[in-house]
Amino acid sequence: MEEGIVPGGGTTLAHLAPQLAGWAANTLQGEELIGATIVRRSLTSPLRQLENALARMEQSLLNASKRLQRRFRCGN
C-alpha cells in the first residue's frame, strides 16, 4: 500500500454519503448545510465518473460487436 492510497476507500466514502446527508439535514443549516452537501457529492463523484466511463465503454463494445456481426453476415 502506498502512502495515501487505501484499497476500497472509495466505496467506504460512498457508503458514508447517505449518513452524512441525514446528519447534515438534522444538524446543520444555511451555509454549513450547503458545505455538507458539497462534501457529500464529492464522496460519490469518483464512483459516478467510473459508472459513466463504464457505460461509454459498454456502448463502444456493443457497437464493435454489431459491426463484426454485420461483417460475418455479409461474408467480408
Q: What is the pLDDT of residues 21-34, one digit of tens each?
A: 999 999 999 999 99
Identify the band that residue 1 occupies on the pLDDT scale cut at 50, 70 and 90.
very low
pLDDT at 4 over 90: no
Map grid coordinates 457508503 to a residue. 15
In a domain, residue 27? The reply is yes
In a domain, residue 59? The reply is yes
Mean predicted confidence (pLDDT) in 3-21: 81
Question: How high is the mean pLDDT of the chain?
Answer: 87
Residues in the chain: 76
In a domain, residue 56? The reply is yes
| Grid coordinates belonging to 42 | 464529492
In a domain, residue 49? The reply is yes
- 7 Cβ neighbours under 8 A, 6+ residues apart: 1
Print the domain residue range for 38.
11-74
pLDDT tens, position by position, 54-74: 999 999 999 999 998 888 888
User: Residue 60 gets which letter from DSSP?
Assistant: H
Q: Are 14 and 50 in contact (CB under 8 A)?
A: no
Nearest to 39 by CA among 28, 54, 50: 28
